[in-house]
Amino acid sequence: MTVTELVWNQIKISEREVSLAKVLRCGQAFRWKNIDGIWSCALANRVVFLRQVPEGIFYSSLGGTEDSTLAFLEDYLQLSVSAKALYEQWSQVDAHFLKKQQDLQGIRILRQDPWECLVSFICSSNNNVKRISQMCDNLCIHYGDYVASYNGTKYFTFPPPAKLVAPSIEAELRALGFGYRAKYIEKTALLVHLSSTGVADLHALRAADYDTARAALLQFTGVGPKVADCVALMALDKHGVVPVDTHVYQIAKRDYKFKGKGETVTPQINKAVGDFFRDLWGEYAGWAHSVLFTAELKDLGNGVNVKAGEAVKSTKVKKEETFEALTATIRADTRLIAEC
């Protein structure tokens, strides 16, 4: 293993605008690792490293230039949108939001790659964040391209459709623990691969209206209303879409006196709840939904924050330990900055 010095640059931004600990762990993206308080993920053909201090976010990368990493982050984190301003807006129209938002600052929607987002959320059905993360990791390790290593961790790209079209894919994915989703991924990869422009078709849906994008997404096996809405919101710029699952439905009934009978989210319920929140929160309703949804998560760490040398798998990290490791690193960072 080689020791690599990372060169860090800073984006000056408050935790009220971006909270990496929340954004990267609230069930939008599933591949970010947190090792000794440093966030890392192979994205855009490089390994991106991030760490947050009160003054801002330090970023670094292995592969790719500094300028392009900054450009990538501005796009990925959607820094042109002010979460703080949106929070203020939602707080004015929604008393419940106002009450809840205090501990939930800095949550925003990531602008993810449509293909990765699609596959990730196919994996999310009837599943939990921890296992979804494992599945996404497995996809990269077994089918992605090697990018670089850092501190003993190897980083791989998220595999494009072409890497997932072998006839044996379903069996392989099943062996890797994907369960019935193995077939969904195989079929979806094949469909995208065979389309004239491949993933470009998915990217083009960013410019399409919501109904068009949704209809296109529903064509894929393993994609129903909920998954389609997640992809529309988190990869296709459909900021007003509120993905409605059982959990969101419960929130609507419990906290907003939304009247709906039954526990299951039928297509009608899906639409009614979505319309209800869009009506309340406006153009960026999907972003607001993410804030309140995060409030319901029991453990934001989801057991996937690790210390160097520890395997992600089979490791249970106590919340307190993780927190102390994180704050210790942040303090050390702050000292370093002060000395500079």
Partner DNA sequence: ACTCCCAGGGGTAAG
Partner DNA sequence: CTTACCCCTGGGAGT
Using the contact rule CB under 7 A, the part of the chain among 45-53, 216-224, 280-288, 332-340 near DNA is 216-224
Q: Supply the minimum distance, in Å, between the C-beta of residue 45 and DNA.
A: 26
Residues 6+ apart with CB under 8 A from 161: 115, 188, 189, 190, 192, 193, 198, 199
Judged by CB under 7 A, the residue of 34, 60, 78, 124 near DNA is 124
Residue 168 burial by Cβ neighbours in a 10 Å radius (0-12, 13-18, 19+): exposed
CA distance 45 to 158: 9
Q: List beta partners, residue 141.
A: none
Told to judge if 226 belongs to the known catalytic residues of this protein, a careful annotator would answer yes
Instruction: Tell me phi and psi for residue 326, to 5 degrees.
Output: -65, -50
CA distance 339 to 144: 40
Judged by CB under 7 A, the residue of 35, 192, 199, 227 near DNA is 227
Does the footprint of DNA cover residue 264 (CB under 7 A)? yes
Does the footprint of DNA cover residue 131 (CB under 7 A)? yes
Q: Among residues 296 and 324, whose Cβ is nearest to DNA?
A: 296
Does the footprint of DNA cover residue 147 (CB under 7 A)? no
CA distance 41 to 172: 24
Largest CA distance in the chain: 60
Does the footprint of DNA cover residue 138 (CB under 7 A)? no
Q: Among residues 136 and 265, whose Cβ is nearest to DNA?
A: 265
Catalytic residue among 22, 33, 226, 238: 226
The distance in angstroms from the start CA to the end CA of the chain is 29
Does the footprint of DNA cover residue 109 (CB under 7 A)? no
Q: Which spans of this chain sit near DNA (rule: CB under 7 A)?
A: 26-28, 124-131, 174, 177-181, 183-184, 220-228, 230, 243, 245-247, 264-266, 293, 297, 303
Which positions are annotated as active-site residues? 226
